[in-house]
Amino acid sequence: MLPMTQHVTKPKVVVIGAGFAGLNAAKALAHAPVDITVVDRKNHHTFQPLLYQVALAVLSPAEIASPVRTVLRHAANTEVLLGEVKGFDLQKRLVLVDDPYTGPPDRAVSARAGVLSLPYDYLIVAAGATHAYFGHPEWEQFAPGLKTLEDATEIRRRILMAFETAERELIAKRTPPPLNFVVVGAGPTGVELAGAISDIAGRHLTKEFRSIDPRQSRIILLEGGPRVLPTYPADLSASAERQLKEMGVEVRTNAMVTNIEQGVVSVGKEKIPASVILWGAGVSASPLGRMLGVPLDKAGRVIVQPDLTVPAHPEVFVTGDLASATRHNGQPVPGVAPAAIQMGKFAARQINRAVEGKPREKFEYLDKGSLATIGRSRAVADFGKLHISGYFAWLAWLFIHLLFLVGFRNRLFVLSEWAWAYLTYNHSARLITDPAEKDHVETPKAKAG
């Protein structure tokens, strides 16, 4: 008789989140002797650094997003599950996953199957971050942030509708609301949004309206601290502010926002009228960090061990924006895409080493520099001792972002759109779509003339 073949169960790895950290972890484990389940409440990976270009109609959503199943289709040991994590049982090594669909029953495409318990031998939590309104969640309906494709298309709708509303009111011989665009927060997202609004108003829409002059728009960038891009070196911060002002952006530092309501931003006792208010002032860690029941920092991020695991659970890794990790010099690891990518790959490598019986390593973040684009041919780049501003920093920004885009098709389409917009001053993705009913905020009403 032939000997019976013994079935060997492979270790199960569950990856929560298909952002930069989660997706790179899954790809790095594609040929490892493990079975992987990637869980995300969205079916696509979004290239977040280019979300502002969707918001300002330079690119369409499909050009910066790829279906997770398509990205991982060649990984035979990987399955993708569309679901929303509702909790963890670290003692039993279970992830509780629910149906992500939350629409009304009459629109449901299938019956809800209830909560699913996913067992794991190793867990990678890479759930990312969300907007932080500093104790004022009610501001979100008036000042959307920029983290998802839905955020980007809503911002695009509000910006384009501001111009359309002003044109309509002038044709009707009424006084339109002021074309004031207020961006709160002068970090990279705020700087990019302010510069892009200036570009679209001052270059791309100038010949498309007959009653209004988009160039008369007022773009105001508010920063509570003493300078823009506060995490960048002082010389690059000063260069960014100078470039913004050259584009016509009003930069106001030490301007702490005290209230936001429909069409109005308050800075102390001053009330600034606004057609569109955008939020770029801060982020908060995903609530999944609290569900783990482990120590958190003030921002809600999980305080991880040197190998990115949580205390008392060496099988649980936390990566990306949800992880509070420090470098060898004691400085925090920044919440940027390159750091998330390195963390995802590191966690995968530690799982591989554990399967092979090798000891764990310590995570060391390799800082490859930081870039922030400001507008057409304007950017700043921090490459350690090398600081670049202006056109060459902008070229570096273009090249690096194309390099990190997922999929050849995405790179080709983005490159073609950038070339078309640069040569013709025309944005082909300038479409206004209806908002989700729950997110709808009416545009400011015009005053009777």
- With beta carbons less than 8 A apart as the criterion, state whether 257 and 184 touch: yes
Measured between alpha carbons, how far is 331 from 98 in angstroms, rounded to an integer? Answer: 37
pLDDT of residue 407: 59
Question: What's residue 110's pLDDT?
Answer: 44
Q: What is the pLDDT of residue 437?
A: 44
First-to-last CA distance in the chain?
A: 97
Give CA separation, 134 vs 230, 256, 331, in Å: 18, 12, 23
Element containing residue 192 per DSSP (H, E) = helix 188-199
CB-based contact 149:155 (threshold 8 Å) = no
Backbone angle region of 69, left / alpha / beta, with phi > 0 → left and psi within -120 to 50 → alpha: alpha
Name the nearest CA neighbour of 11 among 350, 363, 360, 359.
350
Number of neighbouring beta carbons within 10 Å of residue 383: 14
Domain 12-41+83-131+284-355 falls under CATH 3.30.70.270:
no
Structure tokens at 208: 């498309």
Residue ranges with strand state E in 212-349? 218-222, 249-252, 257-261, 264-267, 270-273, 276-279, 283-285, 302-303, 309-310, 313-318, 323-324
Looking at the structure, give the CATH architecture of the domain made up of residues 137-281+369-436: 3-Layer(bba) Sandwich (3.50)
Q: Which residue out of 169, 192, 241, 417 is catalytically annotated?
A: 192
Whole-number pLDDT of residue 278: 97
Q: Is the pTM of this model over 0.75?
A: yes
Domain boundaries defined on the chain: 12-41+83-131+284-355, 137-281+369-436
Contact call for residues 139 and 279 (beta carbons, < 8 A): yes
Distance, CA of 35 to CA of 111 (rounded, Å): 28
Strands 370-375 and 323-324: unpaired
Nearest-angstrom CA–CA distance, 238 and 232: 10
Which tokens go with 336? 């940027």
Q: In CATH terms, are 12-41+83-131+284-355 and 137-281+369-436 the same topology?
A: yes
Distance CA 219, CA 202 (A): 11
pLDDT of residue 436: 52
How confident is the model at residue 131, as a pLDDT? 84
pLDDT at 100: 73
Amino acid letter, 67? P
pLDDT at 400: 82
Active site residue 192: yes
Give the type of residue at 302: V
Check residue 105 and report its DSSP letter.
Answer: G
Check residue 429 and give its pLDDT: 58
pLDDT tens string, the chain, 449 residues long: the values are 444 444 568 999 999 999 999 999 999 999 999 999 999 999 999 988 888 888 988 888 888 888 999 999 999 999 999 999 999 999 999 999 997 765 544 444 444 557 899 999 999 999 988 888 988 999 999 999 999 999 999 999 999 999 999 999 999 999 888 899 999 999 999 999 999 999 989 887 888 899 999 999 999 999 999 999 999 999 999 999 999 999 999 999 999 999 999 999 999 999 999 999 999 998 888 999 999 999 999 889 999 999 999 999 999 999 999 999 998 888 899 988 899 999 999 999 999 999 999 999 999 999 888 999 998 889 999 998 999 999 999 888 888 877 777 655 566 666 666 566 655 555 555 677 776 544 444 444 444 33
Contact 229, 187 (CB under 8 A): yes
SS (HEC) of 379-435:
EEEEECCEEEECHHHHHHHHHHHHHHCCCHHHHHHHHHHHHHHHHHCCCCCCCCCCC
* pLDDT in the model for residue 414: 65
